[in-house]
Chains A and B, each alone.
Chain A
């Protein structure tokens, strides 16, 4: 069995799943928001989003024309075979999915200013590696849209401000973003580590389903508090006013240098696209977020 080609085929399928169908938790959160939104205008936006999501599912079409920059998360079992093939497989999968799904070509060279046309390029697709015990390979496709990416923010706040400083930074980020990131949004908040670590864990926090609070009750409380605070802004769906500016907030943390207090906010649009699968050593595949028809 050629693990490289299994990975490639699974990754093409994950990209298709991700851009055509929302994960269960996000869809349910949008449905709940639609039921509970009090602003008439806000409600029309959530209704349009839900209609659009239905249509995308039914017609197997990308739910948004911005199919994002392609990011993968790989949990590679230390005993898994063929790990050296994965990077090439994921690049090939990205090229194939660009034609097959289709995905919009979203990879532009910084100095050439040329769009490569196939969603690959330097560091693209980006692969986040994690070595874990065992022999399985777990893959997550995470296409990330540009509109919400443009309002992500990093703050190196003063440690003396502590948690209050963190909360203020998150609220300020939401207020500054306004209508731009296509709300209702999901916020990944990473605190601690260093500048890079904070943003990395902030983005990875977006992989956790929004109906799963942080297992630490203190942090879960902070997540609820930040969520309520963001929704007090009244920005609402698409920035047209309403109760639902965010659907959820996921927080992760790392220990910090005594002199540093990095806070990163990764902003995700309503089209929160992610799809995961586990590949076993014998080549069997379990799809974890989407049912395969």
Chain B
């Protein structure tokens, strides 16, 4: 389980070296984006419109944070990851269009994203579900908030982060998917568990 500290902008070459089960920490610029922000960014891209920030080499975090505004300054109070599978609809296109190198969330992502990551060079970093204060602690500054009309959780928050992690590389840029591997293995335990409990399969 190798540990890597990455600084944005992260190159394609760098992410291609990462393997599933590696631990990474990200320092630099990260944005939050959930369903609506992904969709809008891709709509903008198709229409040839600029999005608020150049995402090449940056990290995107599936997160709807609790953010507090005091004296005109935003502070992130709690920022745990949301379930990433919802973004499977957009992520391969998103990586292709904007060249983000690290996608962060919880619960893993599916085949389409895995293929997209292999093709365009990105990894998926799993952040511990619910660890919202740990995440908030690594967020040093809210640089700005864009697309606030989408609501606080869905807006695009541009954040400065320091050693954001630990993130487990759960999808690497070589087509490996840790969640799928675990799922396959757990499925194989079913008959053994039944047997131990004395359950006869019909």
Contacts and interface: CB of A to CB of B under 8 A. Distances in A.
A63 B190 contact: no
Contact of A52 (B77, B133, B199): B133
B15 interface: no
A126 to B, nearest CB: 22
B179 interface: yes
Interface string A227-244: 001001111101111000
B192 A232 contact: yes
A116 interface: no
Interface in A90-108: 102, 104
A164 interface: yes
Contacts of A233: 186, 189, 193
Q: Which 10 A-B pairs have the closest CB atoms?
A: A182-B129, A64-B130, A52-B131, A48-B128, A65-B78, A52-B134, A65-B132, A55-B133, A241-B182, A56-B133
Given A179-B179, A238-B106, A240-B182, 15 more contacts: A44-B168, A55-B137, A62-B133, A63-B130, A65-B66, A65-B78, A65-B132, A102-B66, A164-B198, A168-B194, A175-B189, A180-B83, A239-B108, A239-B182, A240-B179
Interface residues of B, number: 46
Interface in A212-237: 225, 229, 232-236
A61 B78 contact: yes
Contacts of B192: 232
Nearest to A51: B134
B1 A63 contact: no
A271 interface: yes
A64 B135 CA distance: 10
B80 A64 contact: yes
A63 B129 CA distance: 11
A79 to B, nearest CB: 41
Interface residues of A, number: 45
Contact of B197 (A62, A171, A241): A171
B128 A52 contact: yes
B155 to A, nearest CB: 14
9 contacts: A48-B131, A49-B131, A52-B133, A61-B133, A62-B78, A229-B197, A233-B189, A235-B186, A241-B185
Contact of B128 (A45, A229, A235): A45
Contacts of B132: 52, 56, 61-65
Contact of B178 (A47, A171, A241, A271): A241
Given A64-B78, A64-B80, A240 B197 contact: no
A182 B1 CA distance: 22
Contacts of B73: none
A61 B77 contact: yes
A33 to B, nearest CB: 13
